[in-house]
Amino acid sequence: SRVPRGSGSNCEVADSNESSASEGRRHREEQQPDYATRAENRHIRKKRFVSSPRYVETLLVADQSMAEFHGSGLKHYLLTLLSVASRMYKHPSIRNPINLVVVKIIVIYDEQKGPDVSSNAALTLRNFCNWQKQHNLPSDRHAEHYDTAILFTRQDLCGAKTCDTLGMADVGTACDPNRSCSVIEDDGLQAAFTTTHELGHVFNMPHDDAKQCTSINGINSDSHMMASMLSNLDR
């Protein structure tokens, strides 16, 4: 999906086949010991929710425009953006904290050796997804194997109708090594929120104002990390 720059632009979704999975609380029926052979001595107890942290191994890629703009501080800057995103994914409402683990950073100093980046956000995403596959090792046990890849660029990204696009990712691709990737336009530290948003799409999250989410978010659908427009953010 695409994250518009201002508060007055409409967001366009790159993949219309968005889906969301709702997680219900499981129940377990447990029977007490029945020494009197009375079958009615049963009770139903709700299973207690146990939070299980998840780890998402991540590749960070910065193109030539990022290298030229940030210079020697580039890697530290990228880690700062990911640190902010990682903190947001530890919000208690998620219940299972998601830890973003950076396993590798690639800085492209020669644009000929990187993916083709242009103002066309959708095409840039496709090019990057195809390019990043060569750097991912097949074994999940390898220290540099990653679950998702993120490209940062200073290129002004454009959608089908406007150039208010701040990022793009396909929806629900976390388990697809060929499509688990996103593109972020760097416009300062607020790119951390764009990163969080686009990773949300990779994790199969729709926009807060999507039909399946309106009953949950209500009037607050414009102030969470999956809001269609990046204007203000409460959580």
Domain range summary for the chain, segments of one domain joined by +? 54-203
**What is the tally of helices (H) and strands (E) in the chain?**
5, 7
List, in sequence order, every beta strand (DSSP E) within the chain: 27-31, 42-46, 54-62, 98-107, 148-153, 167-169, 181-185
Q: How confident is the model at residue 48 (pLDDT cuts 50, 70, 90)?
A: low
**CA atoms of 93 and 97, how far apart (whole Å):** 9
Active site residue 40: no
pLDDT at 93: 83
Please tell me whether 43 is known to bind a ligand: no
Pick the CATH number of 54-203 from 3.50.50.60, 3.40.390.10, 1.10.1740.10, 3.40.50.300: 3.40.390.10
Could you tell me the two tokens for 107? 């800085």
Please, which pLDDT band fits residue 200 given cuts at 50, 70 and 90?
very high
For the chain, percent of residues with pLDDT exceeding 70: 70
CA gap 70, 208 in Å, rounded: 33
- Name the active-site residue from 12, 18, 185, 198: 198
Q: Is 197 annotated as a binding residue?
A: yes
Closest by Cα among 215, 195, 228, 230 to 89: 195
Query: Does the reported pTM lie above 0.85?
Result: no
**Dihedral sign from CA coordinates of 89, 92, 98, 104:** positive
